[in-house]
A = this chain, B = another copy of it.
Amino acid sequence: MPTQPPEPDSATDSDIELHNADVCNVVGAVAEVGSKWKLVVLNDLQDDEKRFNELKRSTGASSYTLSRVLADLEDHGLVDNRKELESPVASYYTVTEKGRALSPVFEALDEWGATWLD
């Protein structure tokens, strides 16, 4: 008979605290940009400014998904948006300095893929 209450299968609160206090910020970085569409979109914006539909074609995301991803990235200061309201309207997206700072990540991913994929 245990003197402690039974532990749930997943991490306990104290585990989570330990885990949050963990050494590196890879976990934090992954939490902020570590989703498929965010990585793909940010990578696509590294080189140059792009419009909404350009991103849609190059990434393959639906307009619904793309607009949500871009809004989220903008909220977190990773991309900037510039709108031209004259008809036909145009919307240009660029990476901020914060977003641009991820380029070493993409270079590392690119090199890894070149070596280990196909």
Q: Tell whether, in the assembled complex, residue A22 and residue B58 are in contact, meaning their CB atoms are under 8 Å apart.
A: yes
Q: Considering the chains assembled together, what is the distance between the CA atoms of A15 and B56 in angstroms?
A: 9
Give, as a whole number of angstroms, the nearest-CB distance from A86 to chain B.
25
Q: Tell whether, in the assembled complex, residue A101 and residue B116 are in contact, meaning their CB atoms are under 8 Å apart.
A: yes
Contact of A32 among B15, B19, B105, B117 (CB under 8 A): B117
Nearest neighbor of A25 in chain B, beta-carbon distance:
B113
A85 at interface, CB cutoff 8 A: no
Nearest neighbor of A104 in chain B, beta-carbon distance:
B108
- Against B, the Cβ 8 Å flags (1 = close, 0 = not) of A12-25 are 00011011001011
Given contacts A29-B112, A104-B111, A113-B28, contact A11 B60 (CB under 8 A): yes
